[in-house]
Every structure is written in structure tokens, then in C-alpha cells.
């Protein structure tokens, strides 16, 4: 297949224009982060004339009264919470999705519908009852409580994704492994999971982002500055009377940088993963 030079050029031009449209709003975030003065850059060009890194250095070197570098502590919390959320969320969803895909038991269809239904009730109404429940479970003010809540929140999407993917893995493979002498656990770990890797990458990313960007529940459930996650600290910059836009933008970039890194690392898998995972209900 050959395509005319003109067509190719047009496609590239279109894509470049689209990329510009997509990236332009982000350039405003960058512009705000790089400007040392409060206020608004006007017009079409978002970057300040005199860029300054002062917002970044301010955030990165902020210390609390006890001399802790709060940004780094909170970054640590965020990484810990997001990573554990991913692990716990994936453990929950992989097992449940496998059962929903493979085992015959009453209520499978109901289970899938119930999972979808969890996405339908507006989250704003849930935080106060959740607070009371976590209190009963003695999980308030602990990162593990937060991890549990986030992991649970991410389960429905992950199960839907993974179940669809498991459905595409032929049952023969598992039977072959059974005959090869593998136990159920070995089949799951050595045959099924390696084949699910792309879908796992997608769901891992999803769980990670769920935990990484959330601040309402984190701020509500945690009572200790040094246990806050980064988005909570970031949200502190939005005040009753005024918002520290420069710091907020710089913080938003710092918060999204790790996600973008993970994203870019996973993007090949992502394409394949969503494919076969096929978000197939």
C-alpha cells in the first residue's frame, strides 16, 4: 500500500494541530507555575516573560515546625498509598474477575450489574457514612484505611476490565496446565496472570490514579499533617479568600509528573491491554 505524499502530509498536519490543541491548556498550567507574580497571564501566549522556578523551590523545600520536609513526606505517603492501593485493588479485582469469568455460580450476572451499579450513586453522599464506618473499624487517621477505601473504589472498573480479558483467554490453556500437573494456584500465577499482563497494566494504572489524585476523602479521614497525601497538600493552596495559583499550578505539575511517567512507560501495554481486555462485559 502506498499513499500519496499529500495525504500523508495532511494527516501529519492534522495530528500536529490536534496535539497543539490538546497541549495548549496544559501550557497555561506550566505558565502559571513558572510565573513568580500572582495574577493572570493574558492573551494567547501562556508562558511568562520572566519564567521563575520559585514556586517549585518553595513547594519542594517547605518545612513544617519540626523540620520535616513536608512535600517529600507527603510525596512518600502518596507513593505508599497509591502503590498499596494498586496492590490491594488488583488482588481484590483479579481474584473476583477470575471467579466471575471462570466459575459457574449463581449470581454472576447480578454481581456484574452490582459492580456497575456502584458507579452510579453520586460519591458526594457517601463520605459521611464512610467516616462513621471507618471509625467503627478503627481505620480513621490511618493510611491503611485510606488504601482500603481507594482499593474498593477502584475494584468495579478493574473487575469489568479484567473479567473481559479473562474471557478471552482460552480455557484449554488452563486445562493443559492442569494436566501438566499444575495446582490451581500455579495455573493462576504461571499461566493466567502472565497472559493478563496488559490488562493488569491498565487496571494498575487506573487504581494508581484513583488513589493518586483523590483529596476529599484523604483530607476527611486523615488527621495528621505528616500522613496527608500530596493532593491534600495541593488543595490547601485553594483558600477561602484567595488561591495561590502559582503554587497550585506548580504543585499540579509535580503531582502529575509521576503519573505521566507511569503512563508513558505503560502506554504500549495500555493499547494492547485495553484491546483484548476488550472492556468486554
Partner 1 sequence: MTRVGGVAAVKRAIAIVTLACALFASGVRAEAPPEKTRILVWHAYRAAEETALLMLIDQFNAAHPEYRAEALALPYDVYPSKLSAAIPTGHGPDVFIFAQERVSAWARDGLLSPMDADAAMMPGEFPEAALDALRSKGALWGLPLSLKSVALYVNKSLVPVAPVNTDEMVALAQKLTDPAQGRFGLAWEAGDFYHHASWLSGFGGKLFKEPEHRPVVDTPEGVAALTFVRDLMRKKHVMPEEPSAQLVATLFNANRAAMVINGPWFAGEIHGVDYEVVSLPIVSATGLPARPLLTVEAALVSATSEVKDGARALARFLVSKDASILRAKIGRQVVATRSAYDDPGVGGDTLLRAFRKQAESAVPMDNTPAMLTVWEPYKRALTAVLSGLLEPDEALAQAQRRLNAIAKPMPPPASPWPLLLLAAGGILALSIWIRRRPVRPDAPALYHDVRRAIAYCTPAAASILVLVFIPFAIGVGLAFFHHGEGRYTFVGLSNFVDILTSRDYRITEPMSFWFTLAVTLAWTVANVVLHVSIGLFLALLLRDPLLKFKGVYRVLLIVPWAVPNYITALVWKGMFHRQFGAISALLATLGLEPVSWFTRFSTSFAANVVTNTWLGFPFMMVVSLGALQSIPQDLYEAAEVDGASKWAQFRHITLPLLRPALLPAVILGSVWTFNMFNIIYLVSGGEPGGATDILVSEAYRWAFQRNEQFGFAAAYSTLIFLFLLGWSALTRRVAREPSPEAA
Partner 2 sequence: MADVTLRGVHKAFGDNPIVRGVDLEIGSGEFMVLVGPSGCGKTTLLRLLAGLEQCDQGEVLIDGKVMNDAAPRERNVGMVFQSYALYPHMTVRENLAFALELRKTPKAELDARVNEAAQMLELEKLLERRPKQLSGGQRQRVAIGRAIVRRPSVFLFDEPLSNLDAALRVQMRGELMRLHARLQSTMIYVTHDQVEAMTLATRLAVFNLGKLQQVGKPLDLYARPANKFVAGFLGSPGMNFLRGRVGKGAVAGDGFSLALSPRYTALEGREVIAGVRPQALTLSAQGGVRGEIEAIERLGTEGYAYLRTKVGTVVARFEGGGAELKVGDAWGAACEAASVLLFDAASEEAIAVQP
User: Which residues in 139-158 contact partner 1 (CB under 8 A)?
Assistant: 139-144, 147-149, 151-153, 155-157
Should residue 106 be labelled a site residue for partner 1 when binding is judged by CB under 8 A? yes
Angle at 215 between CA 229 and CA 153, to 5 degrees: 105
DSSP assigned state of 1:
-
CB nearer to partner 2: give 195 or 279.
195
The yes or no reply on residue 194 touching partner 2 (CB under 8 A) is yes
- Cβ closer to partner 1: 53 or 264? 264
As a whole number of Å, the CA-based R_g of the chain is 23
Q: Which residues contact 59 (CB under 8 A, 6 or more apart)?
A: 71, 247, 250, 251, 254
Q: Examine residue 223 and tell whether it contacts partner 1 (CB under 8 A).
A: yes
Measured CA to CA, the distance from residue 275 to residue 273 in angstroms comes to: 5
* Partner whose binding site includes residue 173, from partner 1, partner 2, none (CB under 5 to 8 Å by kind): partner 2
Q: Is residue 148 helix, strand or coil?
A: helix
Nearest distance, CB of residue 194 and partner 1, angstroms: 15
Q: Of 247, 210, 230, which is closest to residue 57 (Cα–Cα)?
A: 247
Which residue carries 507527603 as its cell? 74
Q: What is the DSSP string of 26-68?
A: HHHHHHHHH-SSSS---SS--S-SS---HHHHHHHH-B-TT--
Our finding on whether 94 is near partner 2 (CB under 8 A) is no
Name the binder of 195 from partner 1, partner 2, none, CB < 5-8 A by kind. Answer: partner 2
C-alpha cell at 2: 502506498
Q: Is residue 173 within the footprint of partner 2 (CB under 8 A)?
A: yes
Residue 230 binds which of partner 2, partner 1, none (CB < 5-8 A, kind-dependent): none
Interaction residues for partner 2, span 174-193 (CB under 8 A) = 175-182, 186, 190-191
**Interaction site with partner 2 (CB under 8 A):** 170, 172-173, 175-182, 186, 190-191, 194-195
Amino acid at each position: 500500500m502506498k499513499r500519496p505524499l499529500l495525504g500523508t502530509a495532511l494527516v501529519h498536519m492534522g495530528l500536529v494541530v490536534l496535539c497543539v490543541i490538546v497541549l495548549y491548556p496544559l501550557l497555561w498550567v506550566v505558565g502559571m507555575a513558572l510565573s513568580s507574580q500572582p495574577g493572570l497571564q493574558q492573551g494567547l501566549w501562556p508562558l511568562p516573560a520572566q519564567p521563575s522556578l520559585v514556586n517549585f523551590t518553595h513547594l519542594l523545600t517547605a518545612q513544617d515546625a519540626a523540620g520535616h520536609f513536608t512535600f517529600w513526606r507527603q510525596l512518600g505517603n502518596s507513593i505508599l498509598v497509591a502503590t498499596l492501593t494498586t496492590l490491594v485493588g488488583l488482588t481484590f479485582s483479579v481474584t473476583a474477575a477470575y471467579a466471575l469469568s471462570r466459575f459457574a455460580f449463581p449470581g454472576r450476572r447480578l454481581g456484574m450489574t452490582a459492580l456497575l451499579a456502584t458507579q452510579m450513586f453520586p460519591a458526594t453522599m457517601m463520605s459521611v457514612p464512610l467516616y462513621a464506618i471507618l471509625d467503627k473499624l478503627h481505620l480513621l487517621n490511618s493510611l491503611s484505611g485510606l488504601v482500603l477505601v481507594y482499593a474498593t473504589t477502584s475494584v468495579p472498573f478493574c473487575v469489568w476490565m479484567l473479567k473481559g480479558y479473562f474471557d478471552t483467554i482460552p480455557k484449554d490453556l488452563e486445562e493443559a496446565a492442569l494436566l501438566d500437573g499444575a495446582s490451581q494456584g500455579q495455573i493462576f500465577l504461571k499461566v493466567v496472570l502472565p497472559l493478563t499482563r496488559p490488562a493488569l497494566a491498565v487496571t494498575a494504572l487506573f487504581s494508581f490514579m484513583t488513589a493518586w489524585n483523590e483529596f476529599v476523602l484523604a483530607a476527611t479521614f486523615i488527621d495528621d499533617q505528616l500522613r496527608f497525601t500530596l493532593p491534600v497538600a495541593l488543595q490547601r493552596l485553594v483558600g477561602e479568600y484567595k488561591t495561590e495559583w502559582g503554587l497550585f499550578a506548580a504543585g499540579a505539575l509535580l503531582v502529575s509528573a509521576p503519573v505521566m511517567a507511569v503512563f508513558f512507560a505503560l502506554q504500549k501495554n495500555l493499547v494492547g491491554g485495553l484491546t483484548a481486555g476488550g472492556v468486554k462485559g
